[in-house]
Amino acid sequence: MKTGLLLAIETSCDDTCAAVLDGARILSNVISSQAKAHEGFGGVVPEVAARHHLELVEPVVEAALGEAGVTLDDVEAVAATAGPGLIGALLVGISAAKGIAAARRLPLIPVDHLQGHVAANFLEPEPLEPPFLCLIASGGHTMLAGVHDHEGYELLGQTLDDAAGEAFDKSARLLGLGYPGGPLIQKEAEQGDPEAFEMPVAMARDPGLDFSFSGLKTALVYRCRELGPEGVEARRADLAASFQAAVVEQLRTKLKRALKKGGWEAVALGGGVAANGPLREAVARLCEEQGVRLKLVPIALCTDNAAMIGSAARFAPRIEYPDYLGYDAFATGGRSAVPH
């Protein structure tokens, strides 16, 4: 019998995820993607996501325990994403975690989703120890985090409007590609010329570390209008390549600025957009130029997963039974309060 294991659940968006961790070692990391259910809508429909989580959470937890070759008897604490995310989706995961924990009188560890993306870097086989600079770019968030320890991060910059992944998803829809947009734009862009269309690299002259992607999306709307449906069809790969290059350039520019400002010696990428090939290459080149170490976690740990939630949970406060029974998920902002 193995003891001291952590069961983690993540349901903040459209993936139902559960993982079992033994310290920083992943014993299982199960992800059930709902992408197919949302494809026809061109984006995640919150209510549809919550209902799917409800159906999937139990089998996914069972699969995670099964793959790890353990039972709930081996688990010493249950972690779940408490926010930020889609509230209905989050409630399913946190309620499932509370139920499992309460039935066995185990502690509950609520985890911040973004801290989870940061903590993906602490996992075996090659954990990255703080301090490091972390760029998180996902469907819901884009931020630069200064990671000084395992418990949290300093917010250095964030998007003022759309997230990078959201821009990929909305632009893919404009170009008549499917959902999720990031991988489809990347694939389409392989056949295109990134310099074919001039796209704005927002905030390039802004001295701060914030991001903006809504202007880029608008620029694409105008290019598509000028070209008309047939023109878009004919130039889709060029449009995708030019759009992608502008996103990558903005992320790279801000990362470079943050590196120079902070004197960081290591960089990590996280969030779904970190799966983007050209972004990974651009950041790798930048780190080489600047002489800093780059940590790229496997793509399965960049996109939403429960192993990263378990990793963050190792350094987060535990709530003992029964104090968490009234614990609520939060859609935006900070940690939800535990009612007294």
Only segment of 17-25, 226-234, 273-281, 323-331 that touches ligand KG4 (CB under 6 A): 273-281
Only segment of 67-75, 162-170, 191-199, 226-234 that touches ligand KG4 (CB under 6 A): 162-170
Question: Residue 270 pairs with which residues in a beta bridge?
Answer: 136
Q: Does 139 bind ligand KG4 (CB under 6 A)?
A: yes
Nearer to Zn ion, 84 or 192 (CB): 84
Q: Which does 121 bind (CB under 5 to 8 A by kind): Zn ion, ligand KG4, none?
A: none
Q: Which does 168 bind (CB under 5 to 8 A by kind): ligand KG4, Zn ion, none?
A: ligand KG4
Give, for 109, the enclosing helix (H) or strand (E): strand 108-112
Only segment of 35-43, 53-61, 161-169, 194-202 that touches ligand KG4 (CB under 6 A): 161-169
| φ, ψ (nearest 5 deg) of residue 93 | -70, -45
Considering the complex, what minimum distance in angstroms separates the CB of residue 2 from Zn ion? 29
**Cα atoms in the 13 Å half-sphere on the side-chain side of 256:** 15
Give the Å distances, CA to CA, from 145 to 117, 123, 142, 202.
Answer: 11, 18, 10, 20
Give me 25's structure tokens: 């070692």
Q: Does 272 bind ligand KG4 (CB under 6 A)?
A: yes
Only segment of 88-96, 150-158, 176-184, 198-206 that touches ligand KG4 (CB under 6 A): 176-184
Cβ-based neighbour number of residue 55 at 10 Å:
13
Q: Which does 194 bind (CB under 5 to 8 A by kind): ligand KG4, Zn ion, none?
A: none
Say how many residues make up the chain: 340
* Strand order from edge to edge, sheet including 293-296: 154-158, 142-147, 132-137, 266-270, 293-296
The answer to whether the CB of 135 falls within 8 A of the CB of 266 is no
Q: Does 165 bind ligand KG4 (CB under 6 A)?
A: yes
Nearer to ligand KG4, 132 or 179 (CB): 179
CA distance 333 to 317: 18
Give me 225's structure tokens: 């209008």
Only segment of 92-100, 133-141, 147-155, 211-219 that touches ligand KG4 (CB under 6 A): 133-141
CA distance 19 to 65: 8
Q: Does 273 bind ligand KG4 (CB under 6 A)?
A: yes
Q: Does 116 bind ligand KG4 (CB under 6 A)?
A: no
Residue of 271, 301, 310, 316 interacting with ligand KG4 (CB under 6 A) = 271
CA distance 114 to 153: 10
Of 9, 26, 4, the residue nearest 301 (C-alpha): 26
Nearer to Zn ion, 117 or 314 (CB): 117
CA distance 229 to 147: 46
CA distance 157 to 138: 14
Residue of 28, 171, 303, 311 interacting with ligand KG4 (CB under 6 A) = 303
Residue of 28, 34, 81, 138 interacting with Zn ion (CB under 5 A) = 138
* DSSP single-letter state for residue 329: -
**Interface residues for Zn ion in 260-319 (CB under 5 A)?**
304
Q: Does 243 bind ligand KG4 (CB under 6 A)?
A: no
Considering the complex, what minimum distance in angstroms separates the CB of residue 304 from ligand KG4? 4
Residues found near ligand KG4 in the complex (CB under 6 A): 13, 138-140, 165, 168-169, 180-183, 186, 271-273, 275-276, 303-304
Residues found near Zn ion in the complex (CB under 5 A): 138, 304
